[in-house]
Each structure stands twice: as structure tokens, then as C-alpha cells.
Structure 1
Amino acid sequence: MIKAALFDLDGTLLNRDASIERFIDSQYERLHEYVGHIGKEEFILRFIELDYRGYVWKDKVYQQMVAEFDIVGLTWEQLLQDYVEQFQHYCVPFPNLHKMLQSLVDQSIPLGIISNGKGQFQMDNIEALGIGHYFETILISETEGIKKPDPRIFEKALQQLNVPAKACLFVGDHPENDVKASQDVGMLGVWKKDPQWADVKADYVVEDLMEVCLIIGALVGQ
């Protein structure tokens, strides 16, 4: 019987790819005085490449871009600060995000988030999506001092929700950090399908977030 659900943030609830594209397009326009000598498409594509879908923190990304593109009058630290302060204004949710979360809350399913990343930065993005109130626990790796796939961060979330691993499912887009890691602690691993990967060994696969409700609905009575 499923009694609770945990979620990854980036690539699962937050459409990070779309959010990054919106942000970097805006950053180029806002800082055109300093980066206008670079073609807009080139600037955007290089950022996305260096960002490596969020697995490289932006200090390294901007240091590389300043050096490669010979950006003057604007330091990498200023570019990074702009990212930290402004990204939250460009957050794009996946379709049916609020509908799915509200449906689970209406079924009295306790919810939580486990996300790798910078603490305040991720909390700002959760607030920007307007979803913080749905969750009984939110664990961010920087704040916790541990990150996925470390089992301890999953175990802490389970303790805070007061449910055993076998009574909880985890929804995430990363095959190792989310699906396998949650399965390794005894949870059901649900893969939020991402075209970057194939043949992911998950208990369930979803493309639309509302499918999570269908899965939980089928498992609640078991």
C-alpha cells in the first residue's frame, strides 16, 4: 500500500530545460551591452552545453564563457549573481503540476521533495512555482550535506513523512540518482521520462504528471 510520495525537482516538477532557455535568452538581452559582440544563438547554446543540464554549477560555466568570449566590463561573479537572483523568474512547470499535487493532497497522501542543488536557490525555484505548501518535507542536498544517490537523504525524508520505504514511491527523471537510488532503499521508483535516457529499469514510467495519480490510485488499496 502506498501512503506517501517523494519527488525530484529539476526535470520532474520543474521543466528545467525550458526554464534555462527562457533565462539565458533574457540574460543575453538584459546584458547586451557586455555580450552583444557574441551571437545570441552562440551565447545560448554554449551556456546550455557548459551547464550540462544543471550538473555543473554556474561559477565554472561563467568563468569559461568570460574567457572564451572575451567578455569585458562584466565579471563571471556578476554573471553568476545575476543567475542566482533572476533564474527564479523564468521557472517553467511541467503541465498539470498543480493539478497532480492537489489531487494527491486531496487523497491525504503526504508529499516531499528531495533535490540536489544549492539550498536557497532551489527553495526560491520551489516558491516561484508556487508549490511549497503542498509538501511536508523538502530536502535540498546543500542544506542537508548529503545528496542523491546517497541513501541517507531518502531515509531522512521517509522518517520525516513517518512512512516505511515500501509504502512510498519516488518520482524522478534521473535513472541513477532518482530511480535506482530510491529502489535501493526499498521504495518504488517512478521514472519521469526524459529523452536523454532509454531502457531505464523503473517500477513505473510516466510522461505526464497526472499519471502519478493513476499509479498511486491503483496502489493505495493494495
Structure 2
Amino acid sequence: MNIKAVLFDLDGTLLDRDTSLALFIRNQYERYSQFKFVEKDVFIQRFIELDNHGFVWKDKVYQQLVDEFSIQGVEWTELLKDYLNVFHKYCIGFPNLLNMLTELRDSGIKIALISNGYGQFQYDNFKSLGISHLFDEVLISEWEGLRKPDPAIFIRALSKLGVKATEALFVGDHFENDIRASRAVGMKSAWKRNDTVSFGSIDADVIIDDLGEISRYVLNSLNII
């Protein structure tokens, strides 16, 4: 196996979205006095439940919260705008993110991002992690007019990088959008384990718990370490 490029998903893979979201919503609760009659922990927990790991867009989440808690004095549209403008300030990466990417880059590995989501919002979140200088290409679904699991977005990324599918590894946390989709175009896949999918149902080339395992896996394949 000769890996020349590693491509990454963003949310749940590089970005610790669950922790970041909890930090953001706690701050938003404290900034809006209209929430104060709802117990903080109850509000935060309900937001996280409605968000469903990011699979429910925040317009629906805020509309439901405003209705459910009978929140007065602030429109859901204002809360959504605040989310779009402020969330990136609370984004944090998983442990060993920077070290892993730096090791890959220093070893001559090309690096790219493929993320579903709204262009500027996702790009701001990505930039906030302080890793953009290590990436050769960034593809976000809104800007590309394609979204995972469509094979075309993987093929486009590979073309931009100038590598074959068999020379690339895709790292992600979503079974359909990341693992199955990347393998379908001929790439190797690495699943970043999460608690939403059972271990036995994941057909990936490697399963990791920590990002540091990616650089070791890739460099071992190249007989560098």
C-alpha cells in the first residue's frame, strides 16, 4: 500500500463538534436573558438532543426550542444568526490533531478536507482549528454543488490532489457518507470510532480512537516508522 494523500471529514473527525456545541450553547444561554427562566442544564440538554449530532439544521432546532419553552422577546431567526456568526469561536479539535497533520505533511503526504454543510459556516469552523495551512485542498458541499456520499465529490478531490483513489485514505466518522462512500470509489478508509454506530457494523480498513493513530498507520505503510 502506497498512501500519497489523506482526506478528512470535519465534524466528528477533526472537529470535536459535540464538545464545541456544548461550549457554544452554554455561552449563548448566558448571553440571552430571555432564556433565564429555563434551567440552564435543561436548555442545553434539550438543544443537544434536538441537534442530533448536527443532522438537524439549527433553524428547526431553534424554532422547536422557542415553541417548547415558550421563549418570549427573541426570534428564532436571531438565535440562528448568532449561531452562524459565533459558533466558530468555540470550535475545538480532537487531541493530537495538529501533531498528526504536521507529521503527515512533513512526510510529503497531501492533505484535503471534504465536508458536507454550508460553505462559509463550515470554512469558518475549519479555519478556527488553526490547521488550514496544512491542507492542499478544501471541498465543502455547498460550494462544490456536491455532497457526500456522492462519489463525484471524492473523485473531484482526488483529481485536485493529483492522486489515484488507490493511493488515498479517507478518514471519517460517518458510516455511509465517509466509510462506505470512500471505499466505493476505491479509497482506503479509516473510521474514527463514535458511539452512534456499533463496532461490528463498520467495514473499514482501520478503526481508530485517536487521531494520532492515523499518522502511525500511514507512515507505517510507507515504512517510514
- The separation in 2 between residues aligned to 1:54 and 1:138, in whole angstroms, is 20
Q: Matched residues, percent identical? A: 52
Quick check: 1:168–1:188 contact (8 Å CA) kept in 2? yes
- Match in the other structure for 2:23: 22
Task: Please report how far the alpha carbon of residue 127 of structure 1 lies from its aligned counterpart in structure 2 after TM superposition.
Answer: 1.1
Identify which of 183, 202, 205 aligns with 1:203.
205
1:216 aligns with 2:192: no
- The separation in 2 between residues aligned to 1:179 and 1:157, in whole angstroms, is 16
- The separation in 2 between residues aligned to 1:106 and 1:4, in whole angstroms, is 12
- The separation in 1 between residues aligned to 2:167 and 2:149, in whole angstroms, is 19
Counterpart of 2:22, as a letter, is E
- Match in the other structure for 2:88: 88
1:140 aligns with 2:177: no
What is the CA deviation profile of residues 154-190 of structure 1, one whole-angstrom value per residue up to 9, with x for unaligned ones? 0000000000000000000011110111000000010
Residues 101-140 of structure 1 aligned to structure 2 (within 5 Å): 101-140=101-140
Taking structure 1 as the reference length, the TM-score comes to 0.97
Counterpart of 2:136, as a letter, is E
Q: Secondary structure at the match of 1:9?
A: coil
Task: Please report how far the alpha carbon of residue 118 of structure 1 lies from its aligned counterpart in structure 2 after TM superposition.
Answer: 0.8
Gap runs ≥5 in structure 1: none
- The separation in 2 between residues aligned to 1:57 and 1:144, in whole angstroms, is 19
Q: Secondary structure at the match of 2:41?
A: helix
Q: What stretches of structure 1 move > 4 A for 4+ residues in a row?
A: none
How much is the aligned-residue C-alpha RMSD, in angstroms? 1.1
- Match in the other structure for 1:6: 7
Gap runs ≥5 in structure 2: none
How many pairs does the alignment contain?
221
Task: Please report how far the alpha carbon of residue 56 of structure 1 lies from its aligned counterpart in structure 2 after TM superposition.
Answer: 1.0
1:73 aligns with 2:70: no
- The separation in 1 between residues aligned to 2:192 and 2:121, in whole angstroms, is 22
Quick check: 1:19–1:92 contact (8 Å CA) kept in 2? yes
Q: Secondary structure at the match of 1:63?
A: helix
Task: Please report how far the alpha carbon of residue 220 of structure 1 lies from its aligned counterpart in structure 2 after TM superposition.
Answer: 2.4
Residues 173-192 of structure 1 aligned to structure 2 (within 5 Å): 173-192=173-192
- The separation in 1 between residues aligned to 2:69 and 2:144, in whole angstroms, is 36
Q: Secondary structure at the match of 2:213?
A: helix
Counterpart of 2:174, as a letter, is H
1:98 aligns with 2:98: yes
Q: Secondary structure at the match of 1:189?
A: strand
